[in-house]
Structure 1
């Protein structure tokens, strides 16, 4: 296909409105996101319980602190290796191929988790494969989504909001995953995850050529063939060496799980800051692009703390759901994993409202940092609200499930605002040489938040819930207020006052 014909095809694809007013390729990415969410939430809904359940109960027998730290550490490391994945997408594979390979590795990872006789080994292999999946892809999928729109297209933020909603349609699965695990065992829930991941992968394979045209095929800033070969060889050697060293240290007790979790989490907080500096100072980035990247930094910091809030629901409050919450309803007992479905249902509702609102408002919507600040303040209210049951009820007293339900309702309302706004802004300010990597750097706020959670767990003790949650919620809300107050300055740094992109 000639260059002119290829350009015409891309223009035609970007002009499509076949999928809810968006190109058909956006539909492919959205449905793949839904299936991946089914897989991801099937695993995460029951993983912490699988880790600390005894072997006789079908679990792996870790203690609750180790289980919490392992879960948080996985999300922290996933974000870090995702940074490498975005480099691979930007400079070696291109986003299309990166997504294709990564989704296959991810599906294989869920398969290993579902093989019961493997036990701890199966868990370890699955986590490695899932991390390799992240290492191959990074944020290439989000970068690919952004490629369906011109820079000034007001549909862009609506597309990210649609993806957020569809992702959470898949996230309704925890209520079923918990029940499946209760009746048929943890491996049955993990088998559902594997089947979902395979379905998402096939959706992409069957439609990408027809719906994407040439979008995302080429790497944005490709390495020369010789440098590419050297990079791949070094990457493989480093991954194998690190895996071997870590396995030796853990198996022989040289370091504990807690020590490793703390070290890995500390790195997850430091590396994103270093990468921001690298991008801003890179010779391939213009002065205007550098200023735009710096404007993303306040959102990054705020999102670190929103993810610290979120991870309370998958660690400390997940254990609280099993040990302290009265889970009886109409004479039936529901599983603690079901609470994560509350956030999924709310996300569909709130996310749909947000998507409709931003699409309707178009250029009249608030500045990105103001929107993000409002959402961050709402996030902060969640942990502060959870201080109430700890203040009102003595330890050991079973409390109403409505307390946890309201926590997830509150934080999901905040997430519906911050999620799409953050990733849309990251795709907008991304320098040309760092299209996928910029979105991944922003996504590292999630891993940094998970890292903060792993570190924060060290300071949590039963009985310290009120000061703990007051601090987590209070500092998050304050950061959100600062974003609102200075939103005008941040938008000027982005260049939105000169060219209002919405």
Structure 2
């Protein structure tokens, strides 16, 4: 997208109207709020739905397999963002991509709400994966479009937007978890129905308010396909679909395509796809010299993000199982649902995000560099895993632990998240080459995909007997990487060519 178009978009958006921010932030805030309500509501109960027995309302999948499926699902959700970003940049534009993605997500949740087979379960997962790939990166990209590159409100705006994400993420596990996992019986399908309603409300808000609040934001295609390119792309796509279908049809009967081989494949793709994307963008003739320098600066930030999300995303896998099986669920006379722990992360973000938004604005040009913020985020992520191993160290692996240990672990990782995640969204829009604006945002979400692809490989090493070693090694690695990143921060800043 050219600088001229960027200025046209900013000029078309009312710049006051939502807590001192552009009016379009209202539309994007509540669209993402309801989308995240649907996603986190579904995710809060998904792993339990998979490994609970049929008599308990679940699918009866073996627990270690369910944990791996959860990680692979999370990886594919973010990996699909590359497709969503490309479609937005080249064919639909971000606004239409958001709408189409929301439709697919809603239908995926509707299928989950209907009792059915494991086959239908995987169909719903495919719809949600593709839909989230279309919606998630493009909503964040539009947030970047409504601010000029020089606007000091950007980091604060992304923090407010991030608070909307987590407000939906906070309410969803409480409501969906309470409905789906009752004291006497489980009704997972009713919980999934609430998730579908949430996505429907998000679509309504987006459609009704976008014209007035967003102006041209999301409507200009950054790098549209020419007629010749469209024909070539659609031909390649059709051939790829046929080839993949043939390979799957052959490999499954031969025993080559198994669940374990699929996990390995996703793990390889999780590393290979972002690597290829960096190379393609760096070598593209549409990328200027300054943009190439900024891409180099982006690489260590991307690696740090992978390490961070590898820890944070285990809140819905390892820590979810920990809450269900290793935690005392009677506290202060209250019967705690294990799904409720999924609300801790967004709850702390809701409380602390305004503090961080105010703090960055207060510091203004004196605030830490992006690399320094990332290193602080990694440090806290590592500490969150070191904290959770303490009750195991002192009490052993056989006794149930106080839920307060989980609360403390979630609090610590949230402090790190607020130093890294909203700042990462903001810096991605600043460092993105103009011709790859939406796709670079997809690349940011690929750090999460890579992290969860790695998690799918390592969750099998977790057990109550290996907790100290498991949490200790991963937490320690994050702290070491944070120290390395902090030492490289001045050099990284130099490659950013004036971007802070």
Where on the TM-score scale, by shorter chain, does this alignment land: which range? over 0.9
- Distance in 2, matches of 1:416 and 1:239, equals 40
List runs of 5+ in structure 1 lacking aligned partners: none
Q: Deviations over 1:8-57 (max 9, x none)?
A: 87444456110111111111001111101110111110000000111121
Counterpart in 2 of 1:152? 150
Kindly state the Cα deviation for residue 482 of structure 1 after the two structures are TM-superposed: 2.0
Counterpart in 1 of 2:129? 131
Counterpart in 2 of 1:86? 85
Counterpart in 2 of 1:299? 301
Counterpart in 2 of 1:114? 113
Q: Deviations over 1:50-98 (max 9, x none)?
A: 0011112111111011101101001111222211211111111111111
2:314 corresponds to 1:315? no
Counterpart in 1 of 2:35? 36
Contact 1:74 1:127 in 2 (8 A): yes
- TM-score w.r.t. the length of structure 1 is 0.93
- Distance in 1, matches of 2:13 and 2:297, equals 27
- Distance in 2, matches of 1:323 and 1:245, equals 40
Number of matched pairs = 493
Kindly state the Cα deviation for residue 231 of structure 1 after the two structures are TM-superposed: 2.2
Kindly state the Cα deviation for residue 229 of structure 1 after the two structures are TM-superposed: 4.1
Counterpart in 1 of 2:408? 406
- Distance in 1, matches of 2:24 and 2:332, equals 44
- Distance in 1, matches of 2:405 and 2:121, equals 32
- Distance in 2, matches of 1:358 and 1:247, equals 54
Q: 1:120 to 1:212 in 2, by over 3 A?
A: same
Counterpart in 1 of 2:450? 448
Q: 1:138 to 1:338 in 2, by over 3 A?
A: closer
Counterpart in 2 of 1:168? 166
- Distance in 2, matches of 1:305 and 1:318, equals 19
Which stretch of structure 1 is more off in the superposition, 451-460 or 238-247? 238-247
2:375 corresponds to 1:370? no
Partner SS state of residue 130, structure 2:
helix
Partner SS state of residue 458, structure 1:
helix
- Distance in 2, matches of 1:182 and 1:240, equals 42
1:94-493 matched pairs, under 5 angstroms: 94-116=93-115, 118-137=116-135, 139-172=137-170, 173-183=172-182, 185-232=187-234, 234-235=236-237, 238-239=240-241, 242=244, 246=248, 254-493=256-495
- Distance in 2, matches of 1:38 and 1:143, equals 20
Q: 1:224 to 1:138 in 2, by over 3 A?
A: farther
Q: 1:11 to 1:310 in 2, by over 3 A?
A: closer
Contact 1:9 1:213 in 2 (8 A): no
- Distance in 2, matches of 1:282 and 1:415, equals 32
Q: 1:8 to 1:442 in 2, by over 3 A?
A: closer
- Distance in 1, matches of 2:156 and 2:175, equals 29
Partner SS state of residue 171, structure 1:
helix
Contact 1:86 1:138 in 2 (8 A): no
Counterpart in 1 of 2:66? 67
Q: Deviations over 1:373-425 (max 9, x none)?
A: 11111111111111211111222211111111111011011101111111111
Partner SS state of residue 461, structure 2:
coil
Runs of 4+ in structure 1 over 4 Å off: 6-9, 243-254
Which stretch of structure 1 is more off in the superposition, 397-406 or 118-127? 118-127
Which stretch of structure 1 is more off in the superposition, 481-490 or 197-206? 481-490
- Distance in 1, matches of 2:198 and 2:253, equals 33
- Distance in 2, matches of 1:480 and 1:120, equals 41
Kindly state the Cα deviation for residue 209 of structure 1 after the two structures are TM-superposed: 1.4
- TM-score w.r.t. the length of structure 2 is 0.94
Kindly state the Cα deviation for residue 136 of structure 1 after the two structures are TM-superposed: 3.3
Contact 2:13 2:23 in 1 (8 A): no
Kindly state the Cα deviation for residue 233 of structure 1 after the two structures are TM-superposed: 5.1
- Distance in 1, matches of 2:130 and 2:9, equals 31
Partner SS state of residue 150, structure 1:
coil
List runs of 5+ in structure 2 lacking aligned partners: none
- Distance in 1, matches of 2:238 and 2:108, equals 18
Q: Deviations over 1:331-354 (max 9, x none)?
A: 332111111111111011121211
Q: Deviations over 1:115-174 (max 9, x none)?
A: 11x231221111111122134346222111111111111111111111111111111121
- Distance in 2, matches of 1:185 and 1:495, equals 54
Partner SS state of residue 117, structure 2:
helix
